[in-house]
Amino acid sequence: MNNRDKLAALLKRANITRAEAAQYIAEETKRPCSWRAVQSWLADSALPSARECPDWAVTNLTAKLKRLKLIA
């Protein structure tokens, strides 16, 4: 499973929006993260706006969601 799929699965499991995911990533990393960044990470790789989802985004979102008890 690639990071794009992992990120999509996290959003679905926690039932959060892309904007909420961006907010949680920003809170966890103490760096800005926009919903557009999350959108580009989730975009189909054939699209020109698609970007590869970085490991740190998945790791930090997972940590935040666990701390908030939105995922196990």
pLDDT digits (tens, 9 = 90+) for 22-56: 999 999 999 999 999 999 999 999 999 999 999 99
Identify the pLDDT of residue 30: 97
What percentage of the chain carries pLDDT values higher than 90? 97
pTM: 0.93
Question: How many residues would you count in the chain?
Answer: 72
Closest by CA to 29, choosing from 5, 2, 59, is 59
Identify the pLDDT of residue 72: 87
